């Protein structure tokens, strides 16, 4: 697949500013997204949904169009079910705090969640007596459907699991998980941060109740996320924050919350970010998510092939490239993950992530101190992988095993 023309849409790649393999943290942005952000500030830098002048009307129009693009992108037909958040973390916390969980209610997660989908539930357990139950994964992080079923019960009110792991890349069967959750009478929330940028996600077919994601991982602006929920679920959900824009009418002693989506979007919004989100979704749609997934898979196969002979290298997660969803987490004997990342940066300006990737329980439970992580996206190519593997090989030969 020839994706070389796409690389010209990204400023840092045009300027040859190194090899960016840290997209699981935050993606680069194409010209189209950058222009959309600048157009807001240059052409209609106003607020939406309040004033009646033309500039404000333009902001409201772009906001509505962004919701429509999101609904189309994710295969649903109700744009009002999409709210704009700062990131996936805020979306998960909105559900955690607004779902109405009570003492004794059970929340089921997997044992391989990102802290964004672990910490909120742990704090609710400490503060409100909500119970936690874990679906135990295989040693390589692969989802265990039978163990997940055994974790379910009539006391489970909510399931909250990731769609794809940011450490192992393992993709969970969210439609199957939704069926199991619904059979038990529970709702299901999906952390889609790692999956949404890399594959086609049809939320109607998946039949999940909530889906949260970070737009900044899928070519959109920093500080932008989306939370989707079925209409009845969003209407029942309490907002995380309230204030201007979230009410129909407020008196001295009564507040009538506005209908969705307004009740969730308190105060003035990140309108430039919303404009950039619209542009990012359009850009990805024009390329095609199936094409992006195939490109990611090709790059994963290339990484595995080019690194298989590196002395002392061990892979965190499954050793099948088809199960990695764009991430390659690894260690080299004798080197700390942060040392690997810093040396790659100094040796050939290759940018990766190192540490526990905000998935502390995964590493702690397996006795692993962390890992280095290279993550690919649509703008990476074979030359990037060749440079990464060559630098890694030289590093391992020179410094590994000490």
The predicted pLDDT at position 140 comes to: 87
Say which residue the tokens 């009740």 belong to: 263
Segments in 213-359 forming alpha helices (H): 231-236, 271-287, 289-307, 337-348
Q: Are strands 350-351 and 19-20 parallel, antiparallel or unpaired?
A: parallel
Task: Please say whether the structural domain 4-22+288-399 has been given the CATH code 3.30.70.2080.
Answer: no
Kindly report the average pLDDT of the chain as a whole number: 96
Q: List where CATH 3.90.1150.10 sits in the chain.
A: 4-22+288-399
CATH architecture for segment(s) 44-286: 3-Layer(aba) Sandwich (3.40)
Enumerate residue ranges in the chain where pLDDT < 70. 1-2, 401-402
Helix 382-399 to helix 289-307 angle (10° resolution) is 30
The predicted pLDDT at position 207 comes to: 98
pLDDT digit string, tens, across residues 193-225: 999 999 999 999 999 999 999 999 999 999 999
Three-class DSSP labels, 319-361 = CCHHHCCCEEEEEECCCCHHHHHHHHHHHHCEECEEECCCCHH
Cα distances (Å, whole numbers) of residue 199 to 93, 171, 203, 276, 285: 24, 10, 12, 20, 11
Q: Which residues contact 252 (CB under 8 A, 6 or more apart)?
A: none
Q: What is the DSSP letter of 80?
A: G
- Are 212 and 74 in contact, with CB atoms under 8 Å apart? no
Reply yes or no on whether 325 is catalytic.
no
The predicted pLDDT at position 402 comes to: 56
Task: Please state the φ and ψ torsions of residue 326, each to the nearest 5 degrees.
Answer: 85, 0
Taken in order 258, 202, 207, 131, is the CA torsion positive or negative?
negative
Q: List where CATH 3.40.640.10 sits in the chain.
A: 44-286
Selection from 19, 12, 5, 7 nearest residue 350 by Cα? 19
The predicted pLDDT at position 2 comes to: 64
Give the whole-angstrom CA distance, residue 7 versus residue 164.
25
pLDDT digit string, tens, across residues 47-94: 998 899 999 999 999 999 999 999 999 999 999 999 999 999 999 999
Which of these is catalytic: 47, 233, 358, 393?
Answer: 358
- 251: burial class by Cβ within 10 Å (0-12, 13-18, 19+)? exposed
Q: At 13, list the tokens.
A: 């790649």
């Amino acid at each position: 697949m020839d994706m070389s023309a796409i690389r010209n849409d990204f400023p840092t790649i045009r300027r040859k500013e190194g090899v960016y393999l840290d997209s699981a943290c935050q993606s680069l942005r194409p010209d189209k997204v950058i222009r959309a952000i600048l157009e807001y500030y240059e052409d209609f830098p106003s607020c939406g949904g309040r004033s009646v002048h033309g500039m404000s009307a333009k902001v409201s129009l772009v906001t509505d169009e962004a919701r429509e693009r999101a609904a189309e992108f994710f295969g649903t037909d109700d744009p009002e079910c999409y709210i704009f958040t700062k990131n996936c973390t805020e979306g998960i916390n909105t559900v955690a705090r607004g779902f109405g969980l009570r003492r004794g209610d059970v929340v089921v997660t997997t044992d391989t969640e990102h802290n964004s989908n672990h910490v909120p539930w742990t704090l609710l357990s400490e503060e409100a007596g909500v119970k936690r139950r874990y679906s135990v994964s295989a040693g390589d992080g692969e989802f265990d459907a039978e163990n997940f079923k055994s974790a379910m019960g009539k006391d489970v009110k909510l399931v909250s699991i990731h769609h794809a792991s940011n450490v192992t890349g393992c993709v969970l069967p969210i439609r199957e998980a939704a069926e199991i959750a619904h059979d038990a009478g529970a709702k299901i929330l999906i952390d889609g941060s790692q999956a949404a940028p890399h594959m086609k996600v049809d939320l109607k077919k998946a039949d999940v109740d909530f889906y949260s994601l970070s737009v900044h991982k899928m070519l959109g602006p920093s500080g932008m996320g989306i939370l989707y929920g079925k209409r009845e679920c969003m209407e029942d959900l309490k907002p995380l924050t309230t204030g201007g824009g979230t009410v129909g009418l407020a008196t001295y002693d009564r507040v009538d919350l506005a209908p969705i989506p307004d009740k969730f979007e308190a105060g003035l919004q990140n309108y430039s970010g919303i404009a950039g989100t619209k542009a990012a979704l359009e850009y990805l749609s024009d390329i095609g998510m199936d094409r992006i997934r195939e490109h990611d898979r090709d790059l994963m196969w290339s990484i595995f092939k080019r690194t298989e002979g590196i002395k002392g290298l061990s892979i965190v997660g499954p050793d099948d490239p088809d199960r990695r969803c764009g991430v390659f987490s690894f260690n080299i004997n004798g080197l700390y993950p942060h040392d690997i990342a810093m040396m790659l940066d100094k040796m050939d300006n290759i940018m990766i992530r190192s540490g526990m990737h905000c998935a502390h329980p995964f590493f702690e439970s397996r006795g692993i101190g962390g890992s280095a992580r290279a993550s690919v996206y649509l703008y990476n190519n074979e030359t990037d992988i060749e440079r990464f593997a060559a630098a890694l090989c030289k590093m391992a030969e020179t410094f590994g095993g000490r």
